[in-house]
Amino acid sequence: MESRALSRAMVESVVDRSLREIVSDPDRSLRKLVDLGNLLARGRSQKESFSLLSRVLENEGSPYYDMVRRIVQEVDREKLKCFGINLGWESWTVGAGRIRALEGERHYNIPWCLTFRLGGQPWALGAEDYRALLLQGQELGICSYFFFAEEPGADPGFLPELALQFSRCAFFLFLPPAALTEPLLTAASRCGNLMLLLRTDADIWRAPDGRLRSNGCLHGLYRTYMCEEDAADITSGGWLNRLGGDAGPAIFYVPARSCPPSVQEAVRRYALDARTAQNCSFFPVEYISDLLLVDHIISDEPCFLSVAPDGTVCGSRTGRETVLDASLRSSTLTEVLERFFPWAS
């Protein structure tokens, strides 16, 4: 534990210095930070990922430099440091190492993150249920958690306090603009490890997004999609054109469970091509397939796990969610993974 604390202190020192340097010379400082990541990378896949980033940043006209400048200007520096270290160090380095070690011992797959869909019903999982599940997740090396507050009556007000309790984890909250209440914004503003992403319903997201910016919060945007018409709006660039220059550092494309595989594949390819071509100053993510991509970097056999409001579990290895015959009300996370995600070989 002391060794881990010392390692984090060293990472914090490096990130502190890098953030100060990025303000004055973002291009050079970002390249140095990626080079450091390449040195610290563990395993072939992580090294390949940092090598790819290094090649991307060789393009001095890369719009990702603009993205970094904007992030540093808009987001509180302490929040940026905390979230970046929790995601990059605690989750993708320390947590990933524990995941690989446990997978080798137990011969089942462990996801690098968990997705929770909040509900507003009296029987839905509550704050204490999620706290218990996060404790189980941490024991397995899972340090990143994605929460969706889209169902009618879903109240994410407990999440900032939960994020403070799990101060070395990274949290993502996806919510419609109307759900960003003043109490939630005030509480979220105290968290350095919580990123809020607004659903882009018409233009009503712009005012709440401005409030996130003015409070120095980590923020992004997302849209759901389920059919060919939605995919065409995404892949034609129509949705991005409507966003204008306010897309934030990250945008997510979130497929509905009923979304046909061909539609999801079209959006996945579009997001991948956009990242590779470097033609936009933000980072596009197809939700399930790209979370699986990160999981594949961490371990050889990727898996994705989401939890419905009633505790029912959904899983995927390929990008398409399937309802599993299991509930985290009656089974532990370990039991679910052991049963449904055994090693293929």
* Spatial CA neighbour of 80 closest among 47, 35, 33: 33
Q: For the chain, where are the alpha helices, taking DSSP H only?
A: 2-24, 26-40, 43-56, 63-74, 77-85, 96-106, 127-139, 159-165, 182-188, 206-214, 228-235, 238-243, 261-277, 287-298, 333-340
Q: Which residues pair with 114 in a beta bridge?
A: 145
pLDDT at 227: 96
Tokens 């001095």 locate to: 60
CA distance 176 to 193: 20
As given in the structure block, the two tokens for residue 112 are 């690098």
pLDDT at 2: 46
For 105, the 3-state DSSP assignment is: helix
Tens-place pLDDT, residues 79-103: 989 998 999 889 988 999 999 999 9
As given in the structure block, the two tokens for residue 222 are 């997302």
pLDDT at 167: 97
pLDDT at 287: 97
As given in the structure block, the two tokens for residue 293 are 């991509």
CA distance 255 to 36: 35
- Domain range summary for the chain, segments of one domain joined by +: 61-340
Tokens 């579990």 locate to: 313
pLDDT at 277: 81
Query: Average pLDDT per run of 10 along the chain, which is 345 residues long?
Result: 64 81 72 67 59 66 74 86 91 92 96 97 95 98 98 96 98 97 97 96 86 92 96 93 78 94 96 83 90 92 96 94 96 98 86
CATH no., domain 61-340? 3.20.20
pLDDT at 41: 60
pLDDT at 254: 97
CB contact at 8 A, 131 and 162: yes
Q: Which residues of 85-97 are buried (b: 16+ CB within 10 A; e: fewer)?
A: bbbbbbbbbbbbe
